[in-house]
Amino acid sequence: MLNIDKIRKSQTNIITIGSYPAIIASMLDFDYLSKKEKPSIKAIIAAGRKFERYFFGRREILIPVFPSFDQVPESKRLSATFFLNLSSGRRVLTSSIEAINKLPALVGGAVFAENTPEKHAVELKEYAKQKGVFIIGPSSVGIIVPSKIKLGAVGGVDYKQIISAKLLDQGSIAVLSASGGMTNELINILANTGKTLSFSLSFGGDRFPMVTPSEAILAAERDPQTSAIVYFGELGGKDEYHIAQLLNEGKITKPIICYIAGTVAEMFPTSPQFGHAKAMAKTTEETAKAKRDALKQAGAKVAESFKEFVKMIEKIPRPTPEVKAAPTSGVNKLSKKDIIESMHDRNHALISTSISGYKEGKVLVLGEELLDFAKNHSFAYIVASIFLGKKIKSRELEEFVDFILRLLVDHGPYVSGAVNTIVSSRAGRDLVSSLASGILTIGPRFGGAINQAAKNWLVGITSAKSPSAFVEEFASKKIYISGIGHRKYRSDMPDPRVAEIISYSEGLEARFTSFAREVEKITVGKKGNLILNVDGAIACVLLDILNEKEGYSVEELKKLVEVEFFNALFVLSRSVGFIGHYLDQKRLDEGVFRLEEEHVAQAEIED
């Protein structure tokens, strides 16, 4: 059931299904002009990018994009109260039902798409009714409650239209129409007569709207903010007879000002089809004139021409003391000119960043002044926060990152990265070139295994496979398990670093670490050196801390793997060691490195 007062009192947290930049931008402009502290759109369900850039006032913001509701963070799903479906008509039913099922706090939604199959519209309406949520549409520009929510293109897609239509002031007149264009036109007519809205919505032009005209008018009747109703109808269908019945039964007591368009159709031998699916009179009682007469007899104020309709709107009285308009938004203390000038020259930046910036002459890192950020936090805290793109919450992560950065700093001059750095330094290359030559060796066989190990443990947990099945799958494909195996250490001579790393999982549920240890039990049974190594241990403990102490979901952990977050700690730490080797070689000044002939074997490959 559509309940306007409930909409006013609900938190406005919107998820859009699909992306339509002009509509989304207009909703954000509405939020900003309504003096909201934060944008109402919390997420976009779409393929492609991970974020979309929009303006919130003059400030650019990033709206997160997720390929499905399942990948939306739980906090956003649990708090979402409205959805706007911008997908194609054929996807409306499945995507809207998914929204209803996945968003437990849902109040309602709107469907913008045209060409939604009629059968789907009927099914969706029934499903929404069972679940206690409203859905407006299909083919609807949406619903607007001034200064509260703009759900769709209703009211226009330009901030100047939002201002001129007085959509920032809560008023007392409801505007209802099937036509999106006419809905916006009536909103502007109302504004030009010095009056303001309580709410407005477009039913949509399809044959079976999910919120019918009579249901919308009943919502206006129940709304304590609404004192009068402006209704624009069309020929075709029998909605006006239902409205007339409600008037006759006394279920509608508030004044209704109506205009039913389409009398020109009666000049033709047979009624033509107008723009909307339902706008065609199949019988005499579906003509515009017959429906006007029925409404008049029931007590509605019905105009015979659009000009008369406008004059009737002009005569709607101001709210009585019993029906008071809510306070207007503070933004209207500024002139229209000032508001427009503050927003007209917005241009998108060439790049976006969520890490640092400049404000009032000061450098900010994650929202904190650089000097304070450096003074108040450890290096490990700063590294973890910057790598994750937000300030970390737990002491456990800070301490673990600190230990890992110290542990990984060097592993002798024998490994490929150190060798390349040493060779470059002795060849006379500069610091940056020598460091780069060492870093460029980092990959699947050297240093890059932490990330792959994290991916392995994630797959093991999310696939719900037993450790033995997990191991067998790798064995059947003859693939090494990243994070398992060491050249030097064995089960009877364990790597002391691994035990120290694993100790950081104490006190945690540690499901990733437990899984990794179970895998190790199976692999060492096959061969003694197939132990959990440093890479595998770091990966599983880091996954557990991020999951349990920082609140990262499995989907968010997968994204960290995709961007190689787990390798980033190795790259940072080992860079210190590479720089050390570079400086060491400059001090020793041994000259250019060259292999002697006996150090190189001439390989002969037989056919």
Among 51, 20, 46, which Cα is nearest to 354's? 51
Instruction: Please indicate whether residue 276 is annotated as part of the active site.
Output: yes
Contact 413, 422 (CB under 8 A): yes
Residues 6 or more apart whose Cβ sits within 8 Å of residue 362: 369, 370
Distance CA 31, CA 115 (A): 30
* Residue 233, strand partner residues: 260
For strand 51-56 and strand 59-66, is the pairing parallel, antiparallel, or unpaired? antiparallel
* Residue 14, strand partner residues: 41, 82
Distances (CA, A) of 27 to 34, 77, 262, 326, 399: 10, 20, 32, 21, 43
* DSSP assignment of 345-389: T----S---SSEEEETTEEEETTEEHHHHHHHS-HHHHHHHHHHT
Name the catalytic one among 120, 276, 377, 486.
276
User: Element (H or E) spanning 198, and its range?
Assistant: strand 197-202
Contact 71, 84 (CB under 8 A): no
Contact 187, 155 (CB under 8 A): yes
Among 164, 167, 202, which Cα is nearest to 183's? 202
Distance CA 104, CA 75 (A): 11
The residues assigned a catalytic role are 276
